């Protein structure tokens, strides 16, 4: 008498397929979860504070690794935790670095530091909507002064103070639409 082994082969094939899917899912999770948690993460722009550089609902991929190895530079765009409520994320441009004094006189921004004790006026081609405000802000070690590119419509360091270095998440490295690599750089045409 001959035995039919076909059903057993189908079961083995189904079990092998499920094992492969489970292995694939585990490997994908081991790669994707740490990548999203520690290297790059998606963010969506909310509001108009960075117009015209970034617009409401734009999707950004944020590099969370770079600022573990170097400090942000003046003019770079940051994603950070809002100092008054760390559960919220903000996007703004770095204006003042640790230890500097930022003077705003009728919208004109001057930075005073060791290299320029008399101060220098920032060239800000990314600012299209200005605000005629004034103030003086002195930064301590590990603090950054940030402002939105839409000065007329931005809640930023002028209102709620500096951003501690510990609150910095990263920098946008990709904007999906309109597509751009390293969006927000001073060299980028907006």
Q: Kindly list the catalytic residues.
A: 49, 92
Q: Which residues pair with 94 in a beta bridge?
A: 146
Nearest 5 degrees, angle CA 177-CA 182-CA 184? 80
φ, ψ (nearest 5 deg) of residue 186? -65, -25
Single out the residue of 128, 127, 137, 141 nearest to residue 93, CA to CA. 127
* Burial class of 50 by CB neighbour count within 10 A (0 to 12, 13 to 18, 19+): buried
Q: Is the peptide bond before 21 cis (omega within 30 degrees of 0)?
A: no
């Amino acid at each position: 008498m001959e035995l039919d082994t076909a059903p057993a082969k189908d079961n083995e094939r189904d079990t092998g397929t499920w094992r492969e899917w489970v292995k694939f899912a585990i490997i994908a999770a081991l790669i994707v979860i740490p990548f999203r948690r520690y290297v790059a993460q998606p963010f969506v722009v909310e509001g108009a504070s960075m117009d015209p550089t970034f617009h409401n609902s734009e999707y950004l991929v944020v590099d969370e690794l770079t600022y573990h190895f170097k400090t942000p530079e003046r003019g770079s765009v940051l994603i950070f935790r809002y100092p008054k409520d760390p559960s919220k994320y903000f996007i703004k441009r770095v204006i003042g670095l640790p230890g500097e004094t930022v003077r705003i006189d009728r919208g004109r921004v001057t930075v005073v530091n060791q290299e320029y004790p008399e101060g220098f006026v920032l060239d800000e081609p990314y600012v299209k909507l200005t605000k005629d405000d004034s103030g003086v802000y002195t930064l301590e070690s590990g603090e950054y002064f940030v402002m939105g590119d839409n000065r007329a419509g931005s809640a930023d360091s002028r209102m709620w103070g500096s951003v501690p270095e510990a609150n910095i998440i990263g920098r946008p490295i990709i904007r999906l639409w309109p597509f751009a690599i390293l969006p927000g750089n001073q060299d980028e045409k907006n």
